[in-house]
Amino acid sequence: MKVAVLGTGIMGQGVVRTLLREGHDVTAWNRTRDKAEPLVGVGATVVDTAREAVDGAEVVVTVLFDGEAVLSVLREATSAVDATAASGAEADGPVWVQASTIGAADTARVVDLAAERGVPLVEAMMLGTKKPAETGKLVMLAAGAPDLLARVQPVLDAMGAKTITAGGSVGQGTALKLAANAWIASVTAAAAQSLALTRTLGLDPQLFLDAIEGGQADTPYAHLKGASMIAGEYPAQFALDGLRKDVSLMREAATAADAGFGTSLLEALAGLYGTASDRGHGGDDIAAVHAAFTS
């Protein structure tokens, strides 16, 4: 399929490479072109504007940092098609796959803008980090009209090891992604705490990982992030400031839902990731939350 990928940061780069490897024709755009230029060497077409990228595409995938970025790009790339919605005609342009974690409120704004512009829209949140994006092993958390999801399924199949359909309305995939990332934020911070506590109490922190290995409390994720924490090396697979943003979105969504949900753990996580970011680790991997437990 002819696919446009808008946004070539850590995840976008991996998505482009995976789609190319799976035989898709990919055009890439990034607001800072230099970040997209290396993709020319692996077969992508890199263009200067989002409008150019979506021209002729069957599927458009947005992999951007926040809601304002998604809204801005959607406006820039679709400003010529708003008459479609006004006429009530069925849009025949590309299906837009919103894959950026932007929270519930901004997702609702994107849905409204897409409807105004006559843009067929689904969402497919990406559960995973840099390596799964590069190897097509993400878990795709999809939502939207079934017929539109069927049209983009070959792209989702290329990007992910499996697709979980959260529902028929755009926004339900976002809800599931926030819940999943709450788990990621929690288990990463918990591993950091236990490793730091082990060291504080005078033991080799590796002993903590050895103790849980193979037991009911074990998870491969603890060993993956734990090795990085012990080494004190944090090459970004999922940037800490990105997860910090997501925790803020979780708090906003939970508060807006007004269902008596207790946010005490989310408040604690916001503080921990904020401390690590303030100590200079915002661009490092989320394993750098370990710095919040050390002086």
pLDDT above 50 for 37? yes
Residue type at position 250: M
Q: What is the span of the domain harbouring residue 151?
A: 2-170
Q: Give residue 79's pLDDT.
A: 73
Q: Give residue 260's pLDDT.
A: 87
Say whether both 115 and 88 belong to one domain: yes
Helices (H) and strands (E) in the chain, counts: 13, 8
> Residue 268's domain is classified under what CATH number?
1.10.1040.10
Say whether both 11 and 153 belong to one domain: yes
For 89-119, the pLDDT digits (tens) are 445 689 999 999 999 999 999 999 999 999 9
Domain end marker among 131, 149, 170: 170
- C-alpha to C-alpha distance for 178 and 253, rounded to whole angstroms: 9
- How many CB atoms are closer than 10 A to CB 86? 10
Say whether both 125 and 267 belong to one domain: no
Say whether both 202 and 225 belong to one domain: yes
Q: Give residue 257's pLDDT.
A: 87
Say whether both 24 and 166 belong to one domain: yes
Q: Give residue 269's pLDDT.
A: 98
Say whether both 31 and 159 belong to one domain: yes
Say whether both 21 and 163 belong to one domain: yes
Residue 200 tokens, joined: 């504080």
Residue type at position 116: E
Domain end marker among 120, 149, 170: 170
> How many structural domains comprise the chain?
2
Q: Give residue 90's pLDDT.
A: 46
Q: Give residue 84's pLDDT.
A: 41
> Is the distance from CB of 85 to CB of 116 less than 8 angstroms?
yes
For 20-31, the pLDDT digits (tens) are 999 999 999 999
Return all residues near 147 (Cβ < 8 A) that are at least 6 apart.
none
pLDDT above 80 for 85? no
> Residue 25's domain is classified under what CATH number?
3.40.50.720
pLDDT above 90 for 48? yes
Say whether both 119 and 154 belong to one domain: yes
185 sits in the region (left: phi over 0; alpha: psi -120 to 50; else beta) called: alpha
Say whether both 133 and 36 belong to one domain: yes
Domain end marker among 151, 170, 189: 170
Say whether both 86 and 128 belong to one domain: yes
Say whether both 6 and 75 belong to one domain: yes
Say whether both 162 and 188 belong to one domain: no
CA torsion, ordered 153, 156, 162, 163, to nearest 10 deg? -70
Taking every pair of C-alpha atoms in the chain, what is the biggest distance, in angstroms? 71
Kindly give the residue spans of alpha helices, DSSP state H, lying in 160-286: 172-200, 206-212, 220-231, 240-257, 264-276
